[in-house]
Amino acid sequence: MRTVKASEFKARCLALMDEVARTGEPVLVTKRGRPVAELRPATGHGKRGLAAWKGQVRIVGDIVSPLDEPSEARE
């Protein structure tokens, strides 16, 4: 794992983020020789919102019309 000083990280933050994304190799950020942060590639780049449910949920029946029976939540 590559180690960089906090001052170098501050000066080259965007370039380091691109490097980590490209290589997948994390970067350890140190301050006065002590580790303070670690920059790693992001995980979980899946779909967000309703698109994440595509293929996982099946709608059965009419979901728009009112119910024939009163809901327990309304009582």
Longest dimension (CA), the chain: 69
Q: pLDDT tens digits for the chain (75 residues)?
A: 999 999 999 999 999 999 999 999 999 999 999 999 999 998 866 667 777 778 887 777 887 887 777 666 655
Query: What is the CATH topology of the domain spanning 1-42?
Result: YefM-like fold (3.40.1620)
CB 52 within 8 A of CB 46: yes
What is the pLDDT, as a whole number, of residue 74? 55
Identify how many contiguous H helices and E strands the chain contains and give both numbers. Answer: 1, 3
Give the pTM. 0.58
| Domain-wise residue ranges, the chain | 1-42
What is the pLDDT, as a whole number, of residue 63? 77
Dihedral sign from CA coordinates of 17, 21, 23, 25: positive
